[in-house]
Amino acid sequence: MARGKPSERTDQEKVDHFAYIVDQCWSSTAVTQGTLRAKFSLNSTLGGPLEITTDLGDIDHVRSLTLTVRQLLAPQEDSHFERVSKILYKRLTDDELRTYSVNNSAEWKQMQEGDILLKQNDQPMRGRQLLDIWINGVAFHGGKKELDLYLSLQEPLRSMFQQQVNSLLMDCLNISRQQRNVIREAYERSAFKFD
């Protein structure tokens, strides 16, 4: 993604904006009504057909949530998780909170760059690639390459893809809430040094 104009927000405003976006995610219909789900199973009996069972929740609610979550994932956004994590590392004055923040950052990185979650034509796909395909190809139809990748997935891979995306969105919510909790605690402890 191309980067736009540099933000005029201060570090403190970026941290506060991040906390606001996380709260928006957690107040989304997909979360409050429990319609973000990620269940997938394959069943087969000897000589019987392969049966795919999914419960992926309400796709419209998931798309709506994705619109907000994408602000935590997009590098050009002030609320980008990694950008805010760097600010926290620099601005926190409490070593315990800094350690929690660093651990959250490591968990975020593992979620995006760690395990191979799906393979298509022997190409491994990790969290970052799956979220990119979902956000830029499927949910918002911005990227032809991403949409073509999604459309090339045959069942059961397409159902597995959506299950993995929904699971990744849940991870994004949980890790970003942990980071938001660090921010709240830092304010309570007066543990920020903003110049």
Greatest mean pLDDT range, 1-5, 43-47, 177-181: 177-181
Give the model's pLDDT for residue 3: 45
Token output for 38: 């990620």
- ∠ CA(148), CA(154), CA(160), 5° rounding? 100
pLDDT tens figures, 76-129: 999 999 999 999 999 999 999 999 999 999 999 999 998 888 887 788 889 999
Q: Is 24 within 8 Å of 172 (Cβ atoms)?
A: no
Beta-strand relationship, 123-125 and 36-43: unpaired
Is residue 195 in some structural domain?
no
Is residue 32 in some structural domain?
yes
Mean pLDDT of the chain: 89
pLDDT bin (cut points 50, 70, 90) of residue 2 is: very low
Is residue 121 in some structural domain?
yes
Q: Which of 10, 25, 4, 176 is nearest to 76 (CA)?
A: 4
Distance of alpha carbon 106 from alpha carbon 129, whole angstroms? 18
Is residue 19 in some structural domain?
yes
pLDDT bin (cut points 50, 70, 90) of residue 5 is: low
pLDDT above 60: residue 171: yes
Distances (CA, A) of 29 to 99, 104, 113, 156: 32, 25, 28, 28
Give the model's pLDDT for residue 26: 96
Is residue 104 in some structural domain?
yes
pLDDT tens figures, 129-155: 999 999 988 888 677 888 888 888 887
Could you tell me the residue range of the domain that residue 128 belongs to? 11-38+50-186
Higher pLDDT among residues 190 and 47, named by residue = 190
Q: Domain count of the chain?
A: 1
The helix (run of H) or strand (run of E) holding residue 37 is strand 36-43
Is residue 194 in some structural domain?
no
Hey, how many other C-beta atoms are within 10 angstroms of the C-beta on 124? 11
pLDDT bin (cut points 50, 70, 90) of residue 1 is: very low
In percent, how much of the chain has pLDDT > 90? 58
